[in-house]
Structure 1
């Protein structure tokens, strides 16, 4: 049996990854999560329902900033750590930059040090496309040295990648940073656009639209992201890599709203707002490196992915009179 520690495993991406590992077999999985109140903890509890019934799963509630106190509860050694725990969100980070720094940078530092002292050989880090900031050179490539983060959240992810380089260089921990591009799908956080817009459509409330709707995002379906993480857990070549995980496509906000309207069978009411501070005009991933190193090949386009999300939402929330 291989052994994995997944931080932030009660969240959207982590819970899908944990279920994939348990379904695969041959894994003992520990989840470390503090159930940050950024959104309702009952959602995270629901995300864990299936995993908690599995004999090879263990849940530890605790904070990365208190690893000294809770470290004994973690059943080291592990073959790999997948570090997904973080304070999330670009806009909230502008209001709480110090809190984001402590959790995302200091927390990552503490976890890397914990991994070093316990001989964990592989560390997969959940980074973000936000590190590219306002960069007109699309699609974005990992070898583009011009990073222009424009939010505290983005800067913490750059810091995490650099901390990984230090530990890789000094202590031979293999560190793979995965830059996620706008992940969506069943269990997506309720504050994110696709989830929020779907809720507004079914409840007959207006969708908040910031700017003219021509901002673009590379939306990436959760199953494709999990596939990329899973291959990164097995990656055994170089000691340090930064890799994009996106869909190699860029969709405007207006296109996204039209796709959601079609999937939900509803016409959107629009509540217009000015462009928001910290939002980048576009994201667009070059995934050539992920293809070469991780055999990464996203399979879900935006139309099919939105349809799957809406089907999950309808079932989860008991929506009636659903007629796409």
Structure 2
């Protein structure tokens, strides 16, 4: 298949592009390479895919990878209503995998406009392109943050998600509603994936795994919110990508036949880990104790996440299973190597 992967310079988009290429698909990666976090990390991910920095910098110009023949890249904003339809018309994609978004719960308190531009306007533009250019399946990233103040665990896709507590979560819930509308009106198969705290090598610098490791290495205190009384369903990147690629590669004929065009799944480790245990695992791998700055819970944060993945198992015979021990070791080994 020819597949558009948006957010291809991002953490999950980079790995997903790589996995799809290795499976024999032709991939066009799209990213605007914004400066929400260190862009050198984004350029280095693209370098791993065979795209040079000077090529990646050119807006709206498709460049082909010299390393991976079946990968090409375009720097573009999803909300670009003139250029995105041109790309769809030219490339004739079979499937779209939307992993582009303005990420981050806390940042949405500081810069709400960027979430509206990327996550709402950009997503609508993408849906319109899927509608007008005969896309067979839209797979898109949602988030565990849509569960908001949900107290029932583990979180199920049957749970009510009408109470988001951050703008980021609200935009992700909006994406699900918008996708449902387009599935209903225009018969486009759409699949939303609620990711649960993704971590691993090449991960985002604003995520806990990266922040904690970096601080401990540099003898700085780590910020432990809610005085450590947090639990997260930490999910290793390889497990996330395996779920994403299975869903992309699965035929949609049966769903169309059964009129089940709209679906949402949790992708998580189905296990809630205490934040302090997670920190301890990082300390063990670094052979160094963290200096902890215990702080109150931040606005927009939830105390606990835990994914029920029964639907994923039922429909795709898949459940993430990488242990925290193995996952943290992989990240710390990469961190040491990358930052020498």
Q: TM-score range by the shorter chain?
A: over 0.9
Matched length? 316
CA distance in 1, matches of 2:41, 2:193: 25
| Aligned match of 2:22 | 23
CA distance in 2, matches of 1:146, 1:92: 21
Please say if 1:250 is aligned against 2:272.
Answer: yes
1:74-89 aligned at under 5 Å gives the runs 74=88, 75-89=90-104
State whether residues 146 and 161 of structure 2, in contact with CA within 8 Å, keep that contact through their aligned partners in structure 1.
no
Give the one of 29, 32, 35 matched to 1:34.
32
State whether residues 30 and 74 of structure 2, in contact with CA within 8 Å, keep that contact through their aligned partners in structure 1.
yes
The Cα shift of 1:206 comes to 0.9
| Aligned match of 1:4 | 3
| Aligned match of 1:64 | 78
Give the one of 246, 258, 262 matched to 2:284.
262
| Aligned match of 1:272 | 294
CA distance in 2, matches of 1:200, 1:165: 42
CA distance in 2, matches of 1:291, 1:148: 27
Please, what TM-score do these two structures have when normalized by structure 1? 0.95
DSSP 3-state at the match of 1:65: coil
| Aligned match of 1:49 | 47
1:212-291 aligned at under 5 Å gives the runs 212-235=227-250, 236=252, 237=255, 238-291=260-313
| Pair 1:59–1:267, CA change in 2 (3 A) | same
The Cα shift of 1:73 comes to 3.9
The Cα shift of 1:60 comes to 0.4
Q: Describe the superposition over 1:99-157 as per-residue Cα deviations: whole angstroms up to 9, x where unpaired.
A: 21221011101100011111111000100000001111100100112432100000000
CA distance in 2, matches of 1:155, 1:109: 15
Q: Describe the superposition over 1:63-86 as per-residue Cα deviations: whole angstroms up to 9, x where unpaired.
A: 011131343245431111000110
Bigger shift: 42-51 or 284-293? 42-51
The Cα shift of 1:51 comes to 1.7
Give the one of 101, 122, 133 matched to 1:118.
133
State whether residues 211 and 272 of structure 1, in contact with CA within 8 Å, keep that contact through their aligned partners in structure 2.
yes
Greater than 4 Å deviation, 4+ residue runs:
none
Uncovered stretches (5+) of structure 2, i.e. residues with no partner: 51-66
CA distance in 2, matches of 1:295, 1:191: 32
| Aligned match of 1:309 | 331
CA distance in 1, matches of 2:186, 2:192: 17
Bigger shift: 183-192 or 68-77? 68-77
DSSP 3-state at the match of 1:242: strand
State whether residues 185 and 222 of structure 1, in contact with CA within 8 Å, keep that contact through their aligned partners in structure 2.
yes
Please, what TM-score do these two structures have when normalized by structure 2? 0.91
The Cα shift of 1:227 comes to 0.6
Q: Describe the superposition over 1:226-260 as per-residue Cα deviations: whole angstroms up to 9, x where unpaired.
A: 01101111332231101000000011111111111
Uncovered stretches (5+) of structure 1, i.e. residues with no partner: 319-324
Q: What RMSD in Å do the two structures reach over aligned CA positions?
A: 1.2
Q: Describe the superposition over 1:273-302 as per-residue Cα deviations: whole angstroms up to 9, x where unpaired.
A: 221111001100001001111222212011
CA distance in 2, matches of 1:62, 1:212: 41
